[in-house]
Amino acid sequence: MGDTNHDSHQSDPLRRARLRWRARRGLLENDLIFERFFSRYEQDLSDADVAALTRLLELSDNELMDLLLARTEPEGDLATPDVHRLLQMLRNV
């Protein structure tokens, strides 16, 4: 019942490994946040989480850092409930 996509676990370890590799950033601050995030949440990420994280990783390092440090909030088509939820997870690690 309900939204099965939201609850579905991202079980493909290769896809998670690729995502983790993509999360390696030029800015050390971003790297440290993502390292803690993956240590805590990697096994529990849903497909929706992976999709939101993929969208965040398309941003530049500086745009991403501003979002992670809550200097800015997602705007436009990035301002989805999934992106907001994932951003809260990242901000709280």
* DSSP assignment letter at 33: H
Quote the tokens at residue 49: 């989480």
| Residue 63, CA distances (Å) to 25, 53, 66, 74, 93 in order | 12, 14, 5, 10, 19
pLDDT in tens, 26-60: 788 888 999 999 999 988 999 999 999 999 999 99
Q: What is the CATH number of domain 12-91?
A: 1.10.150.250
The ranges assigned to domains in the chain are 12-91
pLDDT in tens, 55-72: 999 999 999 999 999 999
pTM of the model: 0.77
9 - beta bridge partners?
A: 46
Quote the tokens at residue 3: 């939204």
Contact 66, 91 (CB under 8 A): no
